[in-house]
Structure 1
Amino acid sequence: MWECPEFFALDGGHVLIWSTAGKVFWQSGRLDTSTMLFHSAKTGELDVGAYYAPKTQLGETGQRILWGWIPERRPEAEYSAAGWAGVMSLPRVLHLDADGTLRMKMLPALNELRGEALPTVESPGAVSIRFPEANGEMECSGAAAAGFDFVLTTVANGTEVLKISWLPDRHAFSANGREIALSQDETPRLHLFLDASVAEMILGERTGYTARFYGAGSGAAELTARIEGPGVTASAWKVRPISSNRLTTPG
């Protein structure tokens, strides 16, 4: 069964998105308006993690902005006791390449939430960044010809939140059992946002990888990101809340 299907024009082509069985997919192609048949060209996943039922809207300058639902990954008894379940994703901007490849990136307006820079710890062939209270933004890249691993873990007990590997022989990312290939002229880049119990990442502007994690009690877990491989670079920042209590206070 398809859930939340949507069909729209984008950058001279057309895109169909839909959700089914816990996954979210896209197809690009062209609509023949004389027959009203959609001729698909390419397909893929919008996100390979905890992300479902996305829908789009048009921004004030005509951007196609994608929002998704981030479900829980903890037992029902726990989120029932907490009194809430699930959160909305950050907004992502969609574009369509001439060859029908769907691209995405975080809405540039999110740069307004950047706070002070977080320190990076460099060692031979690796970069580490610590995120207190699971709060922050990070951008990193690696050498296309060399492999590297990105691992996000909790500081308290080393629990792995997510892991992504760059496979130079396939010019592709490996994430959550999926392979996300880039074109041969592209540099492997990752863009990550952390907020309390959610990690949202964009891999090479091709797909998202959203993960859930939970701290002890009502507090947020402290996390460490470690990128291992030759030629890796990373920058990170704290992220300011959109309001004083994040939900109901204007400004």
Structure 2
Amino acid sequence: MSDHLTPRFHIRPPRGFLNDPNGPVQVGGTTHLYFQNRPTLDMASPVQWGHATSTDLVRWQLHRPAMVSTPDGPDRDGVYSGNTVIDTDGNVRAFYSGHVRELPFQSVLTAVSTDGGASFGAPELAVADPAPEEGVLMFRDPFVWHDGERWQMVVGSERAGQVAAVRRYDSDDLTDWTYRGEWMHRRRSLTTDGHDTGSGWECPQVVTVDGIDSVLVAAWAQTFLSGRVLVLDDAPGGVDHPYPVDHGTSFYAPSIMRDSPAGPLVFGWLKETIETDEWAERGWAGVISLPRVLSRGDDGTLRSAPLPAVDVLRAGDAQDADGALLDTTCFELELPMTSATTRLCFGAGEEVVITVDLEADTVTLDHDGASLDHRAHRGVVTAPDALAGSTRPWAARVFVDGSVIEVFTAAGRALTARVYPTTPPPWKVQSVVGARLWHLR
């Protein structure tokens, strides 16, 4: 893999396989973010919790893994997804899924860090696995939070008949948990927008915005081409009308930070969308998205926007984007509030097309022609309700970082893709008057 596709400001270990982000938590003025990681591309090796920290949520420092599997322990084949909280003793406590290959479920485990989140101690069982008579087929990925009165926990699941569900527990002390039944469930189907709701829900995350609880779930199935992160609002009709948190092709496995200086945030795993034989050529796969600030639109749906602090990545003043020649693969575009098409021209036969349509109230990201590499997946994705009602002077902000493209629309829709042009810079931008460009560092 050519170096021009290596992301510079997204979290990515120098080698190995990265997937789900886990448990962002603030300790003092430092945010700790964990993530599923294999130190090599050997997918049989146990997953561990990688670890990164930041004081501004933009620039990150990688550290040694914070948690690895315990030989002969309940996580001996992998430390899988979960989250962290600050317990009553002021310690960082993790809740996560422990993988043992021969067992039917990934049991919910807990472990405590007494060094401020740098490492975690021995795992203990947090809640019992589902009983056989419940007909549960999949059970994993706890998320714990305090609702102001008690500790709450949700766990993703699938039960017989392709019914995806979120199971709920509560506790007074983070030790003794009581099962309170299924909070939400839905039989596998297609939404009105054609999204597969999944036979199971993994990585459930709960965030409270404007007094409404939203549950983000990763729609999962054994037979899936591409899962989506769906939002289930705890309001009438919320489960009947799930909607995507990202309209692109790569955002999966959400991780919520319920409280931050900027408000509630979500991180996601930006999956590779190129065949696995290409991964071996570069020695790594997977990155973490930019943190996204969550809010509600006028219609009550959850919206997202780039963290304001991301502006510190800009190297100097803006320049006119139309006709710009780029000698870098890390840049930001700001597209004006006008119907127009912008092209990122990588080389002969390789381009990404972004279309703003004010009349249709859409923004479209077309990466069908982004790469001549036959191993690269393709797609054309559109965000609806993307512009109307916004008072922003721009229609979309586009962040490009090597193989990563994240698009945020003025009304809070997001579209994410991974692209793999074979041509290194210089690249060219074709846009309209008013489009602006920043190099990022």
TM-score using structure 1 length: 0.75
Of 22, 37, 53, the residue aligned with 2:253 is: 53
* Counterpart mapping for 1:85-100 below 5 A: 85-100=285-300
More strand by share: 1
CA distance in 1: counterparts of 2:359 and 2:400, whole angstroms: 30
Asked if the contact 1:25/1:45 (under 8 Å) is kept, the reply is yes
CA distance in 1: counterparts of 2:409 and 2:242, whole angstroms: 16
CA distance in 2: counterparts of 1:132 and 1:57, whole angstroms: 35
SS of 1:116 mapped into structure 2: coil
CA distance in 1: counterparts of 2:237 and 2:211, whole angstroms: 14
SS of 2:399 mapped into structure 1: strand
Counterpart check, 1:10 vs 2:209: yes
Counterpart check, 1:149 vs 2:341: yes
The higher relative CO (CA closer than 8 Å, separation ≥ 6) is in 1
The answer for the alignment partner of 1:40 in structure 2 is: 238
**Unpaired runs of 5+ in structure 1?**
32-37, 122-126, 241-251
Displacement, 1:98? Answer: 4.9
Asked if the contact 1:19/1:52 (under 8 Å) is kept, the reply is yes
Inter-CA distance 12–97: structure 2 relative to 1 (3 Å threshold)? farther
Counterpart residue type for residue 203 of structure 1: T
The answer for the alignment partner of 1:74 in structure 2 is: 274
The answer for the alignment partner of 2:364 in structure 1 is: 174
CA distance in 1: counterparts of 2:249 and 2:316, whole angstroms: 29
SS of 2:328 mapped into structure 1: helix
Inter-CA distance 98–148: structure 2 relative to 1 (3 Å threshold)? closer
CA distance in 1: counterparts of 2:360 and 2:435, whole angstroms: 23
Cα deviations across residues 154-208 of structure 1 (Å, max 9, x unaligned)?
Answer: 1x32402x32323333222234243412464436611111112211111234322
Percent identical among aligned pairs is: 25
The answer for the alignment partner of 1:124 in structure 2 is: none
The answer for the alignment partner of 1:83 in structure 2 is: 283
SS of 1:110 mapped into structure 2: helix
Displacement, 1:117? Answer: 3.4
CA distance in 1: counterparts of 2:435 and 2:317, whole angstroms: 11
SS of 1:117 mapped into structure 2: coil
The answer for the alignment partner of 2:440 in structure 1 is: 239
RMSD: 2.7
Asked if the contact 2:388/2:411 (under 8 Å) is kept, the reply is no
Counterpart check, 1:226 vs 2:418: no
Asked if the contact 1:45/1:207 (under 8 Å) is kept, the reply is no
Inter-CA distance 173–190: structure 2 relative to 1 (3 Å threshold)? same
CA distance in 2: counterparts of 1:193 and 1:183, whole angstroms: 18
Displacement, 1:67? Answer: 0.7
SS of 1:80 mapped into structure 2: helix
CA distance in 1: counterparts of 2:325 and 2:298, whole angstroms: 39
- Number of matched pairs: 219
Counterpart check, 1:189 vs 2:395: yes
Cα deviations across residues 89-125 of structure 1 (Å, max 9, x unaligned)?
Answer: 111111113531222111111111111235426xxxx
